[in-house]
Amino acid sequence: ALLGGDAAAQGVRAALRQRYLRGLAAAQGRPTRFCLRAGVQVDAVFGAADVEAVAIQVDALRTPLGVQAAALLRCTDVLAYSFFL
């Protein structure tokens, strides 16, 4: 599925990806709740994500020990995240 295929599939793939990237741009700078493995939830400000979906960079990560100025969340640890527009 990841290698594309005929031209129609490639066009659809590009449209889906473009909308996803616009979504990432909209998330930037917004307070976001991350749902991690083992029922853990953390709040942070969304920074950026890499193209291959390996990690998400966040600012002001709230932890029980205080607020971490910057952090990287591994995508394999994240189940979902939500923010308000």
Partner 1 sequence: MNDWQRKSPLDWETYVNKMVKVAAIEKHEYEGWVLTVDPVSASIVLATFLENEKVSVSVVLGHAVQEVKILKEGDDGMKQRLSGIFAPEES
Q: Could you tell me the CA-to-CA distances from 24 to 27, 46, 47, 48 in Å, in that order?
A: 5, 9, 9, 7
Quick check: 7 binds partner 1 (CB under 8 A)? Answer: no
Quick check: 80 binds partner 1 (CB under 8 A)? Answer: yes
The CB-of-33 to partner 1 minimum distance in angstroms stands at 9
Burial zone of 57 (CB within 10 Å; 0-12 exposed, 13-18 middle, 19+ buried): middle
Site of interaction with partner 1 (CB under 8 A): 1-2, 4-5, 8-10, 12-13, 15-17, 19-20, 22-23, 25-27, 35, 37-39, 51-53, 75-76, 78-85
